[in-house]
Amino acid sequence: MFGKPGIREEKVLAISPQATDGLESIPALLHRNATQFGDKPAYREKEFGIWQSWSWADTAKEVEALALGLLNLGVNEGDFVAIIGRNRPHFYCSMVAAQSVGAIPVPMYSDSATDEMAHVMDHCGARFAVVQDQEQVDKIIDIQDSLHQFEHMIYVDPRGLRKYDHRKLHQFSHVQDQGRAAKEEFIDELEARRAKLTYDSTCVMLYTSGTTGRPKGVVLSNRNIIETSRASSDFDHLGPGEEVLAYLPMAWVGDFIFSIGQAYWNGFCVNCPESTDTMMTDLREIGPTYYFAPPRVFETQLTNVMIRMEDASRFKKKLFDRFMAHARKVGPDILDGNPVGAMDRLKYALGNLFIYGPLKNTLGLSRVRVGYTAGEAIGPEIFEFYRSLGINLKQLYGQTEASVFITVQPDGEVRNDTVGVPAPGVEIKITDSGEVLYRGPGTFEEYYKNPESTADTKDAEGWVATGDAGFFDTDTGHLRIIDRAKDVGKMSDGSLFAPKYVENKLKFYPNILEVVVFGNERAECTAFVNIDLNAVGNWAERNNIGYASYQELAGHPQVLEAIKGHMEEMNRSLADDPMLSGCQLHRFLVLHKELDADDGELTRTRKVRRRIIEEKFHDLLTALYDGSSEISTTTEVTYEDGRKGSISATLQIVDAAVVPVTATQVAAE
């Protein structure tokens, strides 16, 4: 069942019969949870200023009512149901209700523009959609003429929708009411369909964010999700007592595994914030014990802390700096249980009392037992900052096609430059060209309606190509990812070019939000920079620098000077790394607009689309290499409502000093 027998697989096989007995689908897990711990909260959502909760028994009832309602509307087995909204119990229930009637949920990014949405819904041929509010309803009405299979839409928030044509539009609570009313009629059908669900049935279909092209639909079976959830829960000793905050896009595989897979497997509570803007307050109120976030969230939190410390009194700032320096020295060792001197421990305890504890509380992270960062590589300095506070933040390496987990860092073996050991049940091999391949229980079934891509990615033996280049660290046995294999290249002098590594180093500076480094097959590396409007804006305010827009601030000479300082500092530290010293940045420019997913420059999960940026700003890129000192350009931008406009600017090109490294050039030759 799991490919060739191996040590790790035997372990998986040994526990699988008793542990998964009859629990071969999410609806089956829901049934178990409702019977075993019916009174325990399954969901909480803050609404009208109060945390409202639903027990597992309530959840089972809500899901059943909705499932009956879906049958009433005529949902067939194998139908696709699009789910579009922010994290709310309604949508999690909708996914499970869809599964209960044999349909396949397809969660989608709620901030997608209409054409992205049209592509996904057309590709999967969704017949139904459960959406949040008028905004999403309007988007689908715009595109529904081109969707031949699309039939009914269910919305949660009725505001502004009263006057709409309700022949194919239904309110969530009405669908549930109709389901309850028609229970007699449909309950047998529902039970029959639920009983048919097996390990091989499709659990969910998730679209990849598409760093390189059109999103692909990744089909994940119940086996993928449940096996992965079980193995990863055992790995981190997760139990029914965990609290998590669901705030990441529901279309992201991470949220599906954490908020559905692991939550249903363990029976822990998923908390939904009141709105996207209140996420930080809600995080603090809930105090999750298990927390996951992409590096971007940690970067933003750190930036906010640093901005506020800049504004603090001199005494407080001094105290903070002093204790943080100490934390950086001994914090990670204390967390890992390594020997630390008594004096240092005492000082750390004092720091914990006055600085680290209150800071963790402000960040909402004081109860975190297991924290993960995933989705992209995190800057080592950012990672260290959180660990030094005593937060057990770990890295994992994963992708949608693996149901998240490829490698994870075990407690006590956390390092910032590696991504850990293979996750339970996962095998990894490195090809001759350096690409990482894996296979395991979470390995996806296929890309929907795309056999060529499936064949390209997954071979006959089940090995999946990640597209990332990496190697196993010989001392520790941990995997180290260098970069996306497609992005890693060679400079013209033959030395290694790894843009992501350099970018992450730079993103540690609060002033820098995003960087795109160029240099493949060229003699020198250069970069596009996005400043962090929050941090730089705050600095400008304190220094009486007036600005009216991002563009104006980005072009300010003092800002350029500050960024140049960061570049040179990073160049000095890169010079010490014999492998990467060739990646020092010679020149850069600060872009006149923020890179944005609406303009296609980032994916919806905010990963940089390198090739598109390269094409779009080719004039700027040329200017970086032809020695000009400034360049005028015009760029088309897309507003949130889909209208287009353009901005023009004249950008300064700034030279940064590099540290000459002779040793590596000799080695390269």
Site residues, other proteins (CB under 8 A)? 47-50, 159-160, 162-163, 274-275, 277-278, 281
Q: Compute the least distance from the CB of residue 276 to other proteins, in Å.
A: 9
Name the residue nearer to other proteins (CB basis): 162 or 314.
Answer: 162
Q: Which is nearer to other proteins, 273 or 371 (CB)?
A: 273
Comparing CB distances to other proteins, the nearer of 136 and 526 is 136
Alpha helices in 197-287 (DSSP H): 222-235, 253-256, 263-266, 279-286
| b/e sequence 29-55, b meaning 16+ C-beta within 10 Å | bbbbbbeebeebbbbbbbeeeeeeebb
Least separation in angstroms between residue 247's CB and other proteins is 13
The Cα-based distances of 505 to 373, 472, 514, 589 in angstroms read 16, 22, 11, 17
User: Cβ closer to other proteins: 17 or 49?
Assistant: 49
Q: List C-alpha distances in Å: 69 to 84, 97, 177, 178, 508.
A: 18, 9, 7, 6, 50
Nearer of residues 157 and 435 to other proteins, judged by Cβ: 157
Distance CA 241, CA 269 (A): 8
Q: How far is the CB of 549 from other proteins (least distance, A)?
A: 12
Radius of gyration of the chain (CA): 26
- Report the nearest approach of other proteins to the CB of residue 157 (Å): 10
Q: Which helix (H) or strand (E) holds 258?
A: none
- Our CB check for other proteins shows the closer of 48 and 315 to be 48
Shortest Å, Cβ 419 to other proteins: 35
Q: 355: helix, coil or strand?
A: helix
Which residue, 148 or 162, is less far from other proteins as judged by CB? 162
**Least gap, CB of 141 to other proteins (angstroms):** 15
User: CB of residue 164 vs other proteins: minimum separation in angstroms?
Assistant: 10
CB of 272 to other proteins, least distance (A): 13
Report yes or no: 415 and 437 within 8 Å, Cβ to Cβ: no
Nearer to other proteins (CB atom), residue 10 or residue 47: 47
CB of 171 to other proteins, least distance (A): 14
Question: To the nearest whole angstrom, how small is the minimum distance from the Cβ of residue 49 to other proteins?
Answer: 5
Q: Residue 496 CB: number of other CB atoms within 10 A?
A: 20
Q: Which is nearer to other proteins, 297 or 408 (CB)?
A: 297
* CB of residue 641 to other proteins, shortest distance in Å: 9
| Spatial distance between the Cα atoms of 272 and 52, rounded to a whole number of angstroms | 10
Distance in angstroms (rounded) separating the CA atoms of residues 408 and 232? 9
Query: Cα separation of 509 and 476, whole Å?
Result: 29
Q: What is the Cα–Cα distance from 150 to 84, expressed in whole angstroms? A: 15
Q: DSSP label at 598?
A: G
Contact criterion met (CB below 8 Å) for 247 and 87: yes
Nearer to other proteins, 50 or 343 (CB): 50
421-422 and 404-408: which strand pairing?
antiparallel
Q: How far is it, in rounded angstroms, from Cα 162 to Cα 156?
A: 13
Q: Which one, 4 or 644, has the nearer CB to other proteins?
A: 644
DSSP letter string, 62-95: HHHHHHHHHHHHTPPTT-EEEEESSS-HHHHHHH
Q: Which residues pair with 22 in a beta bridge?
A: none
How many Å apart are CA 330 and CA 190, to the nearest integer?
Answer: 57
Is the Cβ of residue 47 or residue 561 nearer to other proteins in the bound state? Answer: 47
Contacts of 179 (CB under 8 A, 6+ apart): 64, 65, 66, 67, 68, 69, 70, 71, 72, 186
- Comparison of 276 and 573: residue with beta carbon closer to other proteins: 276
Tokens of 21: 């007995």
Closest CB to other proteins among 279 and 319? 279
Calculate the alpha carbon distances from 523 to 491, 495, 585, 620 in Å.
6, 10, 11, 17
State the minimum distance, in angstroms, from the CB of residue 494 to other proteins.
51
Q: Which two tokens stand for residue 346?
A: 């005492």
Is residue 259 a contact partner of residue 246, using CB atoms and an 8 Å limit?
A: yes
In the complex, the smallest distance separating the C-beta of residue 358 from other proteins, rounded to whole angstroms, is 19
Distance CA 269, CA 645 (A): 44
Instruction: Report in angstroms how near the CB of residue 533 gets to other proteins at its nearest.
Output: 15
